[in-house]
Amino acid sequence: MAIKTKEQYQQSIRDRKPMNVWFLGEKVEDVTTFPPLAASFSAVSKVYELASDPDWQDLVTVESHINGERVSIYNAPLRTPEEANKKTRAARAFAEVIGCCTHRCTGSEGFAGLGPCTYDMDQDLGTDYFQRFTKFMDYVQRNDLSCTVTVTDVKGLRTLPPHKQPDKDMYVHIDEYREDGIVISGYKANQTGILFAHEVVIVPTTAMKEEDKDFAVACAVPADAPGITYVLGRTPQDKRFFEVGGDIEGIDLGKNYADHQAFVYFDHVFVPKERVFLCGEWQYVGRLLSYFTAVHRLTAGGCKAGGCTALAGAASLITEMIGVNRAGHIKEKLTEMVITAEQVYGLSLAAGTEGFTHPSGFWVPNPLMAHTCKWTCTWIPFNAVRYAREIIAGTGETAPSELDMRSPVIGDICQREFNPGNPKYDAFDRLRATRFIEHMTRGSNWTAMALHGGGNPEAARMMAMRFTDWKHLQDMVKVATGMEKDPKICKSVLDSIGKRSGRIDTLQDLPCVCAKAEKEAAATK
């Protein structure tokens, strides 16, 4: 079985070459011991630990179609609807344990886009990208590597296409085409989990035109490759990580696990040919993104469901501590938090079930439902956030620090002030549950992840619009109201109802969706 234990994973991260990582104006010498990154390293370590736990293995591993080994679900692009649903269940389960991003799922989603796209390119263009991709996957699977996909370019002035940006680095691009590979430069922003990844998988962020050829690049680079600079992003609580130690347990951090985001600057990084999966084929970028987002936007429903139930658990505990758990409005709010979780979970499972098998053998979830899932995730978790904050109330929102609660001088008065009243719990229990909610709702990037991670609401809405067969919707009404008189057309419309219901989700339609998008882009040039 190709699964690393937690200890093997941690050692493999320590064994990476020194990396150029910065935070608060200083170079970080060792990311594995740097306090603001400790919770993030713990989170991804926990994901490895659970993957090697026999009780979790069925949920988080699959049999590789490449080498027959049992491999991480995060290194196996989907091949069946069952695997899609397994990924959703795993995302939810991990979120319920660590309450944050697994740091690993985006890599698998990058692969889910690259597999079908490289296959299409080889069929159309006679290239050998699919073979390179499969070889790379085999390497990743056998070594159980943690991979992250870097999609988001910094983009500069949003109205300018990549080739018109005054600073070319606003989008990652190819500087040099060589016999043995390419040299790339540019920025990628908001990268989750990248400092604890082995491999960085780069894909473009937007569909391209011919003039953007040099920006049409997909490839993989080791996270410790020369020429890469990382700058860790801030979170409101980052300085709290330095407080932990002695008697201070880190209650103010909210929990033991967190994720991190960093921006990345690639400065003339060499990528060998065998790690390049798209190199100037601008016509295929839209298609790559269509395949990728169909999987990426499905996962959001799994992890946001886990986050919402974790929030509901913490809020429910607090209501018990302060004695309001039987109040009608509290029960309603807690129940709505749970309904929110089930709503996004259900959308994710449904998108995974209704899809199609690409000729490469990969399973592509239903794109319209996946984008609907992501769009929903940008809204409804905020209800759960609002309810949780309402429940911890002002006393929770303005709670004293653990440092004050443990002070030999004022600790006693702080503990009495924060004592919940229920003799089963003390002030520290209440602080733990309170900080847990604080961490998820305003201490970490959990809400930012719901809103922007995997694309903002507009991006999901735009794709949902493109994956809707508007003509079919109009035809249905024409038939229903008698506007359409031709019996043959009426029959064909009626026959298609219940099969696609206006969703563009067949393989044949995908390229035409991309072609339409390219045409629209050209028209607005």
What residue ranges bind ligand FAD (CB under 6 A)?
106, 150-152, 155, 158-159, 190-192, 261, 445, 448-449, 452-456, 458-459
Question: Beta strands 228-232 and 20-23: pairing type?
Answer: parallel
**Residue 367: closest CA among 504, 471, 459:** 504
Residue placing its CB nearer to ligand FAD in the complex, 191 or 309: 191
Cβ 148 to ligand FAD shortest distance, Å = 6
**Residue 149: closest CA among 58, 246, 72, 218:** 218
Cβ 101 to ligand FAD shortest distance, Å = 8
Residue placing its CB nearer to ligand FAD in the complex, 162 or 454: 454
What is the 3-class SS of 195-215, one letter each residue? HHCCEEEECCCCCCCHHHHHH
What angle do the packed helices 328-353 and 367-377 form, to 10 degrees? 150
Phi, psi of 507 (to 5 degrees): -60, -40
Q: E strands, 224-309, where?
A: 228-232, 261-272, 276-279
Residue placing its CB nearer to ligand FAD in the complex, 264 or 312: 264
Cβ 426 to ligand FAD shortest distance, Å = 34
Rounded to 10 degrees, what is the CA torsion of 304, 307, 308, 310? 160
Instruction: Report which secondary-structure segment, H or E, holds 176.
Output: strand 173-178
Residue placing its CB nearer to ligand FAD in the complex, 10 or 235: 235
Cβ 105 to ligand FAD shortest distance, Å = 9
Residue placing its CB nearer to ligand FAD in the complex, 233 or 511: 233
Distance CA(343)–CA(374), nearest Å, equals 11
Adjacency order of strands within the sheet including 199-202:
147-150, 199-202, 217-222, 276-279
Cβ 216 to ligand FAD shortest distance, Å = 16
Q: Within 13 Å, how many C-alpha atoms sit on residue 487's CB side?
A: 0
CA dist 472 to 328, 466, 495, Å? 45, 13, 12
Residue placing its CB nearer to ligand FAD in the complex, 148 or 415: 148
Residue placing its CB nearer to ligand FAD in the complex, 276 or 459: 459
Residue placing its CB nearer to ligand FAD in the complex, 277 or 425: 277
Cβ 459 to ligand FAD shortest distance, Å = 6
**Token couple for 70:** 């049992």
Cβ 194 to ligand FAD shortest distance, Å = 7
Cβ 193 to ligand FAD shortest distance, Å = 7
Cβ 443 to ligand FAD shortest distance, Å = 13
**Residue 444: closest CA among 236, 233, 165:** 236
Asked if residues 262 and 231 have their Cβ atoms less than 8 Å apart, the reply is yes
Residue placing its CB nearer to ligand FAD in the complex, 82 or 458: 458
